Chain A
Amino acid sequence: MGIKRRKAEETIFKILMVMACLIVGSSLFLIVGTIVVKGVPYLTWDMVSKAPQGGFYIGKEGGVLNAIIGSLYVAGGATVLGLLISIPISIYLNIYLKGGSLLSKSAKLAYDVLFGIPSIVYGAFAFSIMIWLGVRASLLGGVIAVTLLIIPILVRTLDEVIATVPRELKHAALSLGATRWETARVILRQIKPGIYTAVLLSFGRGIGDVAAVLFTAGFSDNIPIYIDEPAATLPLAIFFQLSSPIPEVQGRAYASALILTLIILVIVIVSHILATKHKHKL
């Protein structure tokens, strides 16, 4: 093949690559753009300050405050519960165990796999546990399902963060006579910003997921007060109200989509800033 043809092939593929990059990159703007165009006309003060009124699926009045609060409760509760479980696990795997041990290796693999399990499976599994325990669809059920869903995210993120702490720090603490637990507390102080990132990531995942809360959290037009009451969440509010024949109810779905997207964008951007800051410090 002549050099001209070989160069031409490279040029063609370069053009294709730039086009692919533009398509992939623009997809985010298409999605956010669609949501903004649909949602902005319906985003009023009432939307974020009132619960829906006039009956589920048909009521024209009010907003989606019930879903906003429900989402914050579910995602917040699950994040707190998830942290209580995953911080000890990641400390144990990284500080107590030696890196090459069978348990730490297989645990990390297990979390990689759990991370990939779809939320509908978690939802179905959590629902079975709830039937077994006699818990009906409620805030508590939603929190349980979402906690299962986000533990792998938390453990994996914390794992990465702990790996950035210089090993010398661990060795220095241990050689000064600190117990492993005391060493862990030193390291925990070091990774505080990383913990914030992990919290934001899992909160974002928890607030956006539908399949896990579909059968576990129930749905209600009221703002939940007790943990055994069914609670609406933003993603479910979008999913259910979108198919309503009444334009005002559909509008609530568009507005909810916009609110959810804004929450996610803020979370992702803040966690990105935190992560880069952390990287610079090290």
Chain B
Amino acid sequence: MNFRIVKDKLIANVMLILSISSVSFVFLIGIGLYLRAAPLFEEHTLLSLFRGSNWAPSKNQFGFYPFIMGTLSVTLIAIVVALPLCLLTAIYLTEYAKPGIRKVMLPLMNILAGIPPVIYGVWGIFFVVPIVREYIAPQFMEYSSGYTVLTGGVVLAVMIFPILVSIVSEVLSTIPKELKDASLSLGATKWETIKKVVVKRARPGIVAAMVLAVSRAFGETIAVLMVCGNVPVAPTSVFDGGYPLPALIANNFGEMMSIPLYDSALMFAALLLFVIIFLFNLISRIILNRIEHKYSS
């Protein structure tokens, strides 16, 4: 008897330590990256790192501006492409579609979410790049290689379809039926009810889904790297190449060892991604948890 209790307590302690250490892992990553990036701050101010546009590690010039702009542009394009499509899809699935369509679409989204980034990249190279090069870019300019921020944005947009569709559908389905019935019985059409009651009520959840999708797009590395040209200059049009932060890390990690501060600079890029994505995720998860809590109790 005693042995059983001792065993129970012993296991409890082991598991407590495992749980606490895994939770503190979030902070460990942050601290670890900061320590490795710290040498960079001795010679450069944060402001000069953000605003500098020269990237020449061998000359001790670390301007992150082009990479930050590269990341922001592909992310922005991805959201602009994906958000309307996914909102309409999610509304259709929760309000109009027959259950059969929902039963097909949601598993499809699961499969899409499971497709590895590198496969998206291959698809980008053989499908999206040629379309941009042959059909879209020629409308606006003489020549484009097709490896542009637009291409990266479109590939990213497809990558965030699953998050947006599944979370927005879930949020929409938490809207109480009584609210919709009240609106319908006052003479509103179904679409008006959706526009003025359902979407309005679901707005915090939709915003949370969007923030999650943005942070996914922010951190996506390989797929974007393969299709967006990797030109270390801030893009000025959607047909320019871009060079997002994660691609910078991935492309240069092997060769950084010999140049001073180079690896600190790359770790700074990782730290930047980590901090932004950490905050975005934290905010959106808190909002989503609150919504779930409100409707489950």
What is A's interface to B at a CB cutoff of 8 Å?
6-7, 9-10, 13-14, 16-21, 23-25, 27-28, 30-32, 34-35, 38, 85, 88-89, 91-93, 96, 103, 106-107, 109-110, 112-121, 124-125, 127-129, 151, 155, 179-182, 201, 204-205, 207-211, 214-215, 235, 238-239, 242, 253-254, 257, 260-261, 264-265, 267-269, 272
Contacts and interface: CB of A to CB of B under 8 A. Distances in A.
A10 B32 CA distance: 54
B16 A21 contact: no
Nearest to A14: B96
Interface residues on B, range: 35 or more
Interface string B243-287: 000100110011000000000001100100110011011100110
B81 to A, nearest CB: 10
Contact of B5 (A23, A24, A125, A179): A179
B84 interface: yes
Given A10-B191, A128-B32, A210-B221, A20 B118 contact: no
A125 B112 contact: no
20 contacts: A7-B189, A9-B189, A10-B192, A17-B89, A17-B96, A20-B85, A24-B85, A88-B11, A92-B15, A109-B282, A113-B285, A116-B281, A117-B219, A117-B277, A117-B278, A118-B218, A118-B273, A124-B266, A151-B22, A211-B246
Contact of B119 (A6, A125, A260): A260
Given A118-B220, A118-B277, A107 B189 contact: no
Chain B interface, DSSP helix/strand/loop, else mixed? helix
Contacts of A214: 250, 253
Nearest to A97: B19
Contacts, number: 248
Interface stretch (B48-56, B103-111, B133-141, B142-150): B103-111
Contact of A127 (B86, B101, B127, B253): B253
B123 A31 contact: yes
A17 B168 CA distance: 14
Q: Which 8 A-B pairs have the closest CB atoms?
A: A118-B219, A208-B116, A92-B15, A10-B191, A20-B88, A17-B92, A179-B8, A116-B281
B197 interface: no
A90 to B, nearest CB: 9
Nearest to B211: A116
A165 to B, nearest CB: 17
A226 B165 CA distance: 43
A14 B97 CA distance: 10
B230 to A, nearest CB: 12
Interface in B110-136: 110-112, 114-123, 125-127
Contacts of A264: 114-116, 119
Contacts of B22: 85, 89, 107, 110, 151, 155
Contacts of A14: 92, 96, 191
Given A17-B92, A96-B12, A116-B215, A128 B267 contact: yes
Nearest to B273: A121
A181 B118 contact: no
A211 B250 contact: yes
Interface of B: 4-5, 7-8, 11-12, 14-16, 18-20, 22-23, 25-26, 29, 32-33, 36, 84-86, 88-89, 91-93, 96-97, 101, 104-105, 107-112, 114-123, 125-127, 158, 161, 165, 189-192, 212, 215-216, 218-222, 226, 246, 249-250, 253-254, 266-267, 270, 273-274, 277-278, 280-282, 285-286, 289
B270 A120 contact: yes
Contacts of B192: 6, 10
Nearest to A107: B23
B185 to A, nearest CB: 16
Nearest to A95: B15
Contacts of B126: 34, 38
A30 B131 CA distance: 13
B123 A24 contact: no
Given A16-B88, A238-B118, 5 more contacts: A34-B127, A38-B122, A107-B19, A238-B122, A269-B111
Nearest to B95: A17
A113 B27 CA distance: 11
Contact of A268 (B18, B114, B121, B226): B114
Contacts of A23: 85
B14 to A, nearest CB: 7
A34 to B, nearest CB: 5
Contact of A31 (B14, B119, B221): B119
A239 to B, nearest CB: 6
Contacts of B249: 120, 124
A112 B123 contact: no
Given A28-B108, A34-B127, A264-B115, A124 B253 contact: yes
Given A124-B266, A215-B254, A268-B110, A88 B15 contact: yes
Given A21-B97, A24-B86, A121 B105 contact: no
A110 B30 CA distance: 13
Contacts of A30: 123, 127
